[in-house]
Amino acid sequence: MNFLKKVVVFVFVVVSCLLAATLYLDNSDPEVSIRLFSYNTPVLSIGYWVIIFFAGGLLIGVIGNFFVSVKSFFKIRDLEKKLKHKQAELDLLKSQSS
């Protein structure tokens, strides 16, 4: 199941990259400036903006996933410590009852 998940994610990333490249090639002529609040960005072709926003979204996703993974790592480590302690306690109780 884990292998299937990795294959699906890989295919999704490849298709997304191909789509971004196609959009870049098809829209490289018109140049636009994007207005964010009161800031005007430099004039670039639409293809560059697609790639910039795709890379930004990818970066935000990786950073978000990193924090979730770190939180899960520490939670698993704490649970393993508790399990080891409880297992030692159970072994001690079994040896006392025999």
Q: Once rounded to an integer, what is the mean pLDDT over residues 84-94?
A: 93
- Percent residues over pLDDT 70 in the chain: 96
Would you state the pLDDT for residue 70?
94
Q: Once rounded to an integer, what is the mean pLDDT over residues 43-69?
A: 87
Pick from 72, 74, 28: nearest CA to 48: 28
Higher pLDDT, 12 or 49: 12
Token pair for 24: 């870049």
Pick from 44, 48, 55, 45: nearest CA to 17: 55
Q: Can you tell me the distance from the alpha carbon of 21 to that of 2, in angstroms, rounded to the nearest whole number?
A: 29
Q: pTM value?
A: 0.55
Would you state the pLDDT for residue 28?
65
- Percent residues over pLDDT 90 in the chain: 37
